[in-house]
């Protein structure tokens, strides 16, 4: 019933959706030059041969998708092509930097039946992989109708989402039946999907654990290290609103004991730079932006890394990293700490890391992360890490050991996907 109502409403929603997209263009949330992709109109020809379609909502899911693409490329000896769809400009920029030659990016069409049909008619994927948790009724219905093998990978579901979907369980079950298999991050997620009517649900752990170290330019790294010299430095990574001002507070206090301290802020969304500069202005610290392309001055307090795709560079240049969206004004949720651990950082996070709870619990058990209960605790622990080299080295070692111990997740995922490739006679290489 609900699915029928949704389809009827969406069928007549084109004017409202177009209006919404125009507003998003004005707000800088959509790429005006590629807006036709949102209407299902492709901006590139379909590659010949086998095409694997991977849908990832935003940056976090895109990073997991890259791990999958790189491994499948290795298994298939690049004898296939990849189409990756995402919904944000930031994720599109990330894909432009990191996709291999046999992969291309398109913005996902909005879930209007005609736009979905145009998209599917053009691309005709052989197999579809959806990352984590995004479910769109019209698109999933089109996948099922065309008998495209499909898997939900790295699947997760919050308590709130589970409660909401449980109210429309029949509709949820119908959508989940599109997936031949659902590969979950944890047993709790497995139980949620099973309760909602999913089938062939397997726990494979979090695909992001299998990430390779984030790439960075060695020449830029050498230059950055030479500019920092022997200054104590820490990175606040993937920050959200509220965390940049926290970084300023922490810096101002720590500077009393560590006068040469350098704080590097790497915002999750670099386009927030003006907002960040405005919010940090009252702290009267010297702030330097990376986009200014100037060497880091000796008296720079805050280095705002307002570029995209350089997080690996800043992890590699520091041995202390605080993972963002754990103190943010939006209630937090956390981001992936594995990337920092792989690049030899002592890892810290704030109290609000609920979307990464299982991961941080495991890391805490292995003494591989410091979980600061509040702002004062964060300050105390950063101070301790800067002051105590033995403690810092121990945390770096523990974090890296933990990260490396989780590297096998991708093999488990690929093993569970093998039946889908066999279904379409794809030349799978185990």
Residue 333 and residue 325 in contact, taking contact as beta carbons nearer than 8 Å: yes
Among residues 358, 429, 349, 366, the alpha carbon closest in space to that of 403 is found at 366
Question: How far from 320 is each of 52, 69, 302, 413, CA to CA, in Å?
Answer: 38, 30, 15, 31
Cα–Cα distance for residue pair 240/58, rounded to 1 Å: 15
Residue 303: DSSP 8-state: E
User: By C-alpha distance, which of 34, 46, 121 is closest to 86?
Assistant: 34
3-class secondary structure, 424: coil
Pair 266, 305: CB distance under 8 Å: yes
- Of the candidates 382, 374, 313, 307, the one whose C-alpha atom is nearest the C-alpha of residue 343 is 313
Contact 97, 308 (CB under 8 A): yes
Directed axis angle between helix 169-176 and helix 2-11, to 10°? 70
Q: Specify burial of residue 101 (Cβ count, 10 A radius: 0-12, 13-18, 19+).
A: exposed
SS3 292: helix
Lookup: tokens for 271: 């386009």
Q: Are 352 and 332 in contact (CB under 8 A)?
A: yes
Q: Tell me whether residue 61 is one of the annotated catalytic residues.
A: yes
Question: Considering 30, 37, 61, 93, which one is annotated as catalytic?
Answer: 61
Q: Which residues have a catalytic role annotated?
A: 61
């Amino acid at each position: 019933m609900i699915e029928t109502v949704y389809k009827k409403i969406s069928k007549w929603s084109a004017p409202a959706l177009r209006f919404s997209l125009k507003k998003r263009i004005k707000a800088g949330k959509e790429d005006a030059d590629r807006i036709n992709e949102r209407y299902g109109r492709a901006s590139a020809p379909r590659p010949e041969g086998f095409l694997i379609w991977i849908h990832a909502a935003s940056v976090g899911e895109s990073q997991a998708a890259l791990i999958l693409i790189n491994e499948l490329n290795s298994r298939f000896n690049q004898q296939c092509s990849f189409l990756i769809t995402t919904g944000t400009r930031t994720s599109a920029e990330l894909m432009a930097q990191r996709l291999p030659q046999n992969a291309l990016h398109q913005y996902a069409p909005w879930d209007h039946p005609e736009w979905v049909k145009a998209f599917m008619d053009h691309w005709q994927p052989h197999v579809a992989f959806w990352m984590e948790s995004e479910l769109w009724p019209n698109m999933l219905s089109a996948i099922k109708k065309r008998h495209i093998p499909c898997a939900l990978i790295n699947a997760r579901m919050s308590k709130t989402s589970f409660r909401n979907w449980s109210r429309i369980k029949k509709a949820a079950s119908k959508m989940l039946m599109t997936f031949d298999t659902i590969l979950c991050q944890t047993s709790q997620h497995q139980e949620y999907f099973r309760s909602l009517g999913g089938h062939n649900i397997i726990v494979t752990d979090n695909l992001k654990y299998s990430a390779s170290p984030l790439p960075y330019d060695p020449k830029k790294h050498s230059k950055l290290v030479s500019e920092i010299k022997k200054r104590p430095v820490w990175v606040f990574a993937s920050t959200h609103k509220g965390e940049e001002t926290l970084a300023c507070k922490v810096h101002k206090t720590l500077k009393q004991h560590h006068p040469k301290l350098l704080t590097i802020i790497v915002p999750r969304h670099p386009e927030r730079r003006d907002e960040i500069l405005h919010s940090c202005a009252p702290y009267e610290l010297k702030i330097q932006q990376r986009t200014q392309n100037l060497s880091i001055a000796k008296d720079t307090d805050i280095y705002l890394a307002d570029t995209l795709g350089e997080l690996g560079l800043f992890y590699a240049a520091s041995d202390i990293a605080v993972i963002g969206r754990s103190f943010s004004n939006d209630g937090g949720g956390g981001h992936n700490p594995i990337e920092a651990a792989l690049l030899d950082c002592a890892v810290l996070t704030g109290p609000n890391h609920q979307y990464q709870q299982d991961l941080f619990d495991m890391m805490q058990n292995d003494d591989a992360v410091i979980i600061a209960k509040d702002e004062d605790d964060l300050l105390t622990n950063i101070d301790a890490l800067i002051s105590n080299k033995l403690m810092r080295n121990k945390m770096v070692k523990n974090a890296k050991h933990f990260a490396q111990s989780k590297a096998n997740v991708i093999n488990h995922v690929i093993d569970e996907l093998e039946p889908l490739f066999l279904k379409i006679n794809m030349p799978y290489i185990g």
